[in-house]
Structure formats: structure tokens, C-alpha cells
Structure 1
């Protein structure tokens, strides 16, 4: 009787792993809304520029770029300070790839590509000065920013099968994280 109970229990575990493996076979999905929510927890941010002005970066708006397997973040920015006679609204776009960080189970932005800052109400010379700081601003605001954290319960079935998250694919509605074998 104990053998039968043990066998039934083992089959139940195997079935559960099989169901989970089937769900992961299609990939772990992260929606655009989930990533947008994670970004919202890290913004707004303020960056002073050498005592001349302050740049306030508000929550980025994400856009999926499946053809490039990248994401774009439109970053709304407000510039104000002693060098400006009033506050000015602008923006810049950052395209980036994603990578999985196993140490904390996160999906992070990396390989940033920045477009120029756009401030329609500022003089071209001031915009050129701001564009000097734009790469550092983009680097500070988005490089390695966490867009999603996988929970231990999400990864437990993978660990049991000797698997781990692998390739991250950008789709029109979010991300799909593939399952790959762990290296030996």
C-alpha cells in the first residue's frame, strides 16, 4: 500500500512538472502593462546639471519593437532652473535590449541607444547643451533598470528540470522568455 501511495504521489509531482513545463514550453510571458507598472515604481527622477538646471524625468512610456527584438521608452522630461527663464517640456527616446540577471531573477534593460533630446520651446544652443548630457541621463535612468522580476515559484519547476530562463523575445504585446538547459 505504501508503494502504491508513493507511486501515486510521484506521478502527481511528475504531472505537475509536466503541466508547468508545458506552460514554459510556450515561454514565460511578461506583458507590456506589467513592465510599465514596474517602471512606474522607479519614476519620477531628478537630475541636476552643474547648477544650471534640473531635469525631471517622468515615467517612460514603453513601446515594443518586435522586428528589432528591442523596446523603446519615450522619456518625458521637464527642464527648469537658473539657466532657463521658465520650465520647458521635452522628451527623448531610448531603444534597448533585455537580459536576464540570474542573481536576482530580473529582466533588465541593456544595450541602450539614445535619440536626441527634443525641447520645442528651447533655443537650439540650449538643446545642444542638454544633448551633451543626454547619454549620461539615459544611462542613469534606464541602464540595467529592472523591468520584471520572476518569483521563486515561477522558477522552481524549471530548477527541478535543470532548466533556466534563456532567450528573451519581444512581441507586440510584451515579452516571451524561453526555457533552456542549465550549463553543466
Structure 2
């Protein structure tokens, strides 16, 4: 005779078991990342160096005034910062302030044959364009993102005279230096 399988009663979960399981899961998740170790001298209250380490968080926003053009002694200080002392012989240095859509053109003295470093820098909320020519030859054509300095190396024949053109779409400071390497 065929046997009839016995029917099983469905399993019932108690609410207390669900709560215990949820609490255990929550505590396991939260407490898994809570371990932290301090170095031996970091929290030494008797340490003589109580100064906090400087913040180096890359997410901190830059000071928006760093892109604003300056004048007077602030301009001189900025030029000294972005054009540090050159190792070679400096033949020409120029800097100034441009208004929006203004172009400035300057020329160097006669330069002897050799290899030169042309350092360019600007301070503005917008890019500044630099163009350097030797007669009819364009040596540098650069649209510089302000806040950085750029060094270009150029080889010049004897009796070269460089023409430096600077153009800004917004108010800007510019600086450049021509030095022999």
C-alpha cells in the first residue's frame, strides 16, 4: 500500500528572534570599523610639542583671493614668489597688471647666442596668453592657467631680440623672466 508523506507544520519565527538578529547585525556593522590605534607619543600630555600637525586635506577650498590681481608691494611680493632667483644670468624681467581684454607687448635687449630659460607666470581668475617671438619666428605660444609658473627653454642665435606679448581676457597680473642657462 502506498505511504502518504507526513505533512510538516510550517516553521514560525518569533518576534524576539527577529529583534535579536537585527540588533546583532547592527552592532556587528557599527563596531567593525571602530578600532583605532594611537601612536605612543601622539597623545602624551607631557610632550613638549603640543602643536597640532598642519591640515593637508586636499578637499579644503583654495582662497578665492589668490586669483585676484594685486598692485604695489603685493605685486612685488608676488613677482618675487613666482620668479625666484635664477641660477643663470638674468637678461630681462617684466611684470605688470592687465585690464580685461588688454594686450601688452615688450621687447628685450639684444641677447647673445645661447640657451635661455623663459619663465612665465600669471595671477587671474582666467587664463592669460603669452606669445614670444624672435623676429618672424614664434618660439612660445602659451595659454597659461594662472596660479602656476611655466619655464620654456629656447635656443637663440646671436643678436636676438625677443618680443613678449601678454593678453588677458580678465583682470590679471603677469610676470616673466629671460635668463641664460
Q: TM-score, normalised by structure 1?
A: 0.27
- Higher-RCO chain (CA-CA 8 Å, sequence separation at least 6): 2
Which structure: larger Rg? 2
Q: TM-score, normalised by structure 2?
A: 0.27
Per residue, is there more helix in 1 or in 2? 1
